[in-house]
A and B are shown apart, each in its own frame.
Chain A
Amino acid sequence: MSKKFSCHKIAEGKAKAEAIITHDRIMFYQVRPEDGVMEEKNHELEGRSIAQKVLLFPGGKGSSVVQQDGLYHLDRFHNMPAALIIQDPDPVLVAGAIIMELPMVDKVEPAFYEMVKDGDMVEVNADEGYVEILD
């Protein structure tokens, strides 16, 4: 069974890394720059690091500066995620990813979400429009 799924490019680029999955929306302001750990209380990822990972989440939240500024701080410590896979793009998050040159895709085939597990190695290729679960 193929583990390669089509998707839609939002921000260009590609990456290969371990997946981390949440059902909660994310505000990058709430992620600690020094180690990429989610600090938001009661967030599904509270206490876990998103640094250098392929981050699967529904979409963003919060005011109009929180995403790019949050990502900027993470980037200074080389702790940005490697790529973002989302379902619900909003301009604040999209502009943040484009400006910070962080690969981001949406509209991944539903089958991907049934198969992918936290910790899987995942390749995201926004430029060619696919994501792949690697063995």
Chain B
Amino acid sequence: MKLTDEQQAMMDGKYGEGAAYAMKIQFALGEAFDAPRMVPITRAHIALSNQAGDLWFAEKMYKAGARCRVAPTVNPGFCLGHFTGDCAHPVSEEDADHMRRTDAAYRGLGAILSYNCTPYIATNVPNFGEVIAFSESSATPYANAVWGARTNRESANSALCAAVTGCVPEYGLLLDENRKGDILVHVEANMKSDYEYHLLGMIGDKIGEGIPVFTGLPKYISSEALRNLGAQLNTSGAYGMYHIVGFTPEAPTLEAALGGKKPKHEVVITDKDLKDFEEKFSDASHDGKVDFAMFGCPHFTLKEAMYIARKIEGKKLAIPMYILTSSDWAEMAHRMGVYDVLAAAGAELIPDSCPDQPCWHYLKGKVGITESPKCAYYPRRRGINFMIRDLDTCIEAALTGEVK
């Protein structure tokens, strides 16, 4: 890989040890993928995770003097304001300290402390053709497929490196020829709500590896549905890009989506596929009672919070309900009174937080209900199990404490 004089100077340490370390990692990444050069980026999003490995790397970069040239938005950890101090289930001092250190490291690196995993819907939206470095599994496919921006499926670490150096190796999804679809997915299932897109995304095993081209989807698809599709495609597999014929910008026609070539294979997705997945994935040995409901993996939008508020206004939930969202939307919900409606019914609208965080320590051994397979998938290692159902069924379950 050939570097410009400026990039070489960065690698040689002219801009400090941190920038040099970031450039060395990106250089190795570029070499691994036979990239010919590094190209500038204009946006970045880091899948901050507040896990031990994340903190280790962020602190290492910060202490080495790295500072972001392109200020990245970041994923949620957990909300210190909500889970420490005077609250029902405060986190341990150790966990609180870990989150404070993560916050301090990213603050020091010059990140935008958005703590939100859906930057592509509101806080960090790229333009068509913009070269960016997005990590976070739901963000990469959304940025590529829906906005037509160009990013590889960056890891949290490589996106931080890109934010520091301001460039990325040019390979993969940055290049026209690698953005064409090669799997034709005929969707025959009834995609009646945003929930079915969660299930569709989880059928990665059947879709296979490559870039799916979806046909048969409805004419209008909501931002939330597209968020769900991208998030689950990367829970069931590794997808940085997809096309929806007649809907996403690089797929005006089937031919354009496939780049004029024949797909390497075709699959048909039916209602039965979605139903089978739902059955298989939920906790089978379960009697119908659930202990809590959780939504917002990825973060729920204001629209979804308002929808729930309308459904539960004036009622009392039988079990706790947690709705995870961005701080922007939480603020808006406060202004609009949506927060108060939710709170009166017993639902907590929580900003800056992710289901895969130690703040949920008090749910260990309990069974929750959620509409997101991703929400069910990652917390399992923390001893928290989930049923998955569509949102309306989940809301009903929160009102009665039982899944019908």
Contacts and interface: CB of A to CB of B under 8 A. Distances in A.
Interface stretch (B52-60, B80-88, B264-272, B394-402): B52-60
A91 B53 contact: no
Interface of B: 25, 28-29, 31-33, 47, 49, 51-54, 56-57, 135-137, 140, 152-159, 161, 172, 209, 234-235, 237-238, 374, 378, 381
Contact of A12 (B28, B157, B374): B28
B52 A68 contact: no
A39 B383 CA distance: 13
Contact of A94 (B29, B47, B140, B156): B29
Interface in A17-52: 25, 29-30, 39
A63 B53 contact: no
A72 B234 contact: no
Given A91-B172, A96-B155, A65 B54 contact: yes
Contacts of B154: 64, 91-92, 95
Given A12-B28, A95-B155, A68 B238 contact: no
User: Residue among A64, A68, A76 with the most chain B CB within 10 A?
Assistant: A64
Contacts of B234: 62-63
A64 B53 contact: no
A95 B29 contact: yes
Contacts of B153: 64, 90-92
Contact of A60 (B28, B52, B238, B381): B238
A99 B28 CA distance: 10
A90 B238 contact: yes
A89 B53 contact: no
B57 A99 contact: yes
13 contacts: A11-B32, A25-B238, A30-B381, A59-B238, A62-B234, A65-B49, A65-B54, A65-B135, A70-B53, A72-B53, A73-B52, A92-B238, A96-B155
Shortest 5 CB-CB distances between A and B: which pairs?
A72-B53, A69-B53, A64-B135, A63-B137, A95-B158
